[in-house]
Chain A
Amino acid sequence: MRKKPYHFFEHDRDLVLAEIGKEKLLSALKNMLLVRNLEIRGEAAYQQGKVGGFYHSYMGQEAIQAGCVAAVGVDHWFTTTYRCHALALLLGATPNEIMAELYGKATGNAGGRGGSMHLYAAHLLGGLAIVGGHVPIATGAAFSIKYLKKKDLASFCFLGDGAVVQGAVHESLNIASLWNLPCLYVIENNKWGMGTAVERAVCVEPIAESFAPAYDMKFYTLDGMDFFNCYAGFKEALKEVLATSRPVMIEAVTERFRGHSISDPALYRSKEELARTMQRDPIVLLKDALIGKGMLTEERFKEMDKEQKEIVLAAMKFAEESPDPDPMTLEQGVFAPEEN
Chain B
Amino acid sequence: MDAQVVEIREALRQAMDEEMARDPTVLIMGEEVAEYNGAYKVTKGMLAKWGPERVVDTPIAENGFAGIAIGAAQTGLRPIVEFMSWNFSFVAADQLISNACKAHYMSGGRFKVPIVFRGPNGAAAQVSCQHSHCVEAIYGNLPGFIVISPSNAYDAKGLLKSAIRSNNPVIFLENELEYGDKMEIPTEEYLVPIGKARIDREGKHATIVSYSRMLKFCRTAADEMAKKGISVEIIDLRTIKPLDIATVVASVRKTHRCVLVEEGHIFAGISAEVGFQIMEHCFDELDAPLVRVCQRETPMPYAKLLEAETMPGKERILAALEEVLS
Contact = CB atoms under 8 A, between A and B. Distances in A.
A113 interface: yes
Given A143-B72, A338-B166, A128 B64 contact: no
B165 A137 contact: no
Nearest to B61: A171
B27 A140 contact: no
Interface in B189-243: none
Interface stretch (A103-111, A219-227, A293-301): A103-111
Contact of A120 (B68, B76, B111): B111
Interface string A324-340: 00000000111111111
B258 to A, nearest CB: 28
B53 A140 contact: no
Range for the number of chain A residues in contact with chain B: 35 or more
Interface in A169-220: 171-172, 174-175, 178
A118 interface: yes
A139 B95 contact: no
A140 B74 contact: yes
Interface string B76-108: 110000000000000000110011000111111
Contacts of A134: 99
Contacts of B110: 110, 120
A340 B61 CA distance: 34
Interface in B24-66: 27, 53, 58-59, 61, 63-66
B108 A114 contact: yes
Contacts of B74: 125, 137, 140-141
Interface in B141-159: 143-144, 146
Interface string B112-133: 1110000000000000000000
B140 interface: no
Contacts of B107: 110, 113-114, 118, 120, 126
Contact of A148 (B61, B76, B111): B76
Chain A CB within 10 Å, residue with most, of B27, B58, B103: B103
11 contacts: A134-B99, A136-B95, A139-B64, A140-B67, A140-B68, A140-B75, A143-B77, A168-B64, A168-B94, A171-B64, A336-B112
Nearest 6 CB-CB pairings of A with B: A140-B71, A136-B67, A171-B64, A110-B108, A336-B112, A137-B71
Interface of A: 77, 79, 108-114, 118, 120, 125-126, 128, 130, 133-141, 143-145, 147-148, 167-168, 171-172, 174-175, 178, 332-340
